[in-house]
Amino acid sequence: MLDFADVSVIDNHCHPIEPEKAVMDPEMLAREFFHGMGDIPDPGIKKAKLWGATQELRYHFLHMGVVHTMVCQLSKVLGCPAELEAVTSERNRRTAESFAAYARLLYDDAGIVGTVLDTGLHKDDPILELIPGKVMRLFQMEPLLRKLLEQSGSYQELLRGYQETLDRAVRDDGCIGVKSHLAEQVGFGVKPVSEAEAEAIFPAAKTGDSEAFKKLYVSIFTATLLQCQDLGVPVHLHSGFTGGLWNGSISNADPFLLVHLLRQPEFLQTRIVLLHGGYPWIQHAAAVAHALPHVWVDMGWMTPWISLRIVECYRDVIAMAPLSKLMIGSGGHGTPEIAWLAAKTAKIALAKALGDAVKLDLMASKQAEKAGRMILHDNAVRMYGLGK
């Protein structure tokens, strides 16, 4: 029987904990796991998932599979009945004393020792101290691109400003990779844009033309891929269902659509991490990681969101991608429960999927145990050079 309960975890994909979420009512805690649209549009609020919710929609928040899993697992840690009201009230009792101590309780329980964080926060921001263990930040591509588009008079000026800032972020400020939303902003099925073309569409992009902006985005994205080779850091890409709502079609986030771009010889030395396991195109993400030498798969967001089908999801990835190219993540944000639940469900999924492989004589138990440790922890150590 494989058991990974005591194995350390590095969460490869997470967002900051938000201090204002220390105390929440049961429905708000459940809603943290909702990634759809609200049904009462609020003209002042851009993000449709932050819109108001009718009684009807609020009823459904409580019945998402992942919320059931959270309640089930949290009741064991907190020693209370497996009911949303009971676990929320016990969690609030503890967070009211210390949100940081509560986060530490959960991270210790799941064994999370390090976190790769998608954030624009400065490395000394006290909010980062809420996350227990080692925190490693990514450089965010979009906010800088939009700022420089406003400030720059030409594409060359923008590109120079971008490259200098990225260089400093990695060399001086400790960022360990770049985060891009290519799927949401443009779609994966893109062709490289030449510098001459980028120069030509720059004025239109500056005045808000969305097609021109997409071209500009691709141009800066491919420049980023090349720069990351020199800097020796990976590029993280949301893939599949990313928890956001798209400008374009969700089908543009299928990892297969990326192959045309990524297989270009000049990009083969850039390490790419496909976040969210490409869900629901899990097998596609795994196949791309098998076929392309520079692609890894992060299984975050599947854990914890797809908790009721998590074993099958993990089987789909480990079936095809080299086990040395897999990492676990969470897509956590706001509250520590998400990252904690991701690590817990990852351990459950790996114990079952790898354990079955042992039972069927598809793997020896030593091989399976090592593979589990690699996926939970060691592959991330290797990816970010943490052992040095």
Shortest CB 13 distance to Zn ion, Å: 6
- Report, in Å, the least distance between residue 275 CB and Zn ion: 5
Q: How far is CA 66 from CA 31, 241, 338, 345, 387, in A?
A: 11, 15, 10, 10, 34
Q: CA distances (Å), 319 to each of 104, 314, 344, in order? A: 34, 8, 21
- Look at residues 10, 314, 350 and name the one whose alpha carbon lies nearest to residue 177: 10
285 contacts 272 by C-beta, under 8 angstroms: no
In the complex, the smallest distance separating the C-beta of residue 277 from Zn ion, rounded to whole angstroms, is: 11
Please report, as residue ranges, which positions from 53 to 82 form the binding site for Zn ion (by CB under 5 A).
none
When the beta carbons of 104 and 333 are compared against Zn ion, the nearer one is 333
User: How far apart are alpha carbons 346 and 5 in whole angstroms?
Assistant: 10
Question: Is residue 372 at the binding interface for Zn ion, with CB under 5 A as the rule?
Answer: no
Q: How many helices (H) and strands (E) does the chain have?
A: 17, 10
Instruction: Name which of 169, 274, 186 is nearest 227 in CA terms.
Output: 169
C-beta closer to Zn ion: residue 7 or 343: 343
Tell me the DSSP string of 111-142: TEEEEEEE--S-TT-GGGGGS-SEEEEEEEHH
Q: How far is the CB of 32 from Zn ion (least distance, A)?
A: 14
- Of 16 and 331, which CB lies nearer to Zn ion in the complex structure? 331
Q: How far is the CB of 61 from Zn ion (least distance, A)?
A: 20
Judged by beta carbon, residue 121 or residue 358, the one nearer Zn ion is 121
Dig out the tokens for 135 from the structure: 């925190």
Residue nearest to Zn ion (CB): 331
**C-alpha closest to that of 217 among 148, 268, 279:** 148
- Angstrom distance (rounded) from CA 341 to CA 332: 9
Q: How many residues bind Zn ion (CB under 5 A)?
A: 1
- Site track for Zn ion across 314-353, x = CB under 5 A: -----------------x----------------------
Query: Closest CB to Zn ion among 148 and 246?
Result: 246
Nearer to Zn ion, 38 or 332 (CB): 332
Q: Is 89 exposed, middle or buried (0-12, 13-18, 19+ CB in 10 A)?
A: middle
Min separation Cβ 345 and Zn ion, Å: 16
Interface with Zn ion in residues 160-189 (CB under 5 A):
none
Residue 298 CB, shortest distance to Zn ion, in Å, is 9
- Identify which of residues 184 and 369 has a Cβ nearer to Zn ion in the complex: 184
Chain contacts with Zn ion (rule: CB under 5 A): 331
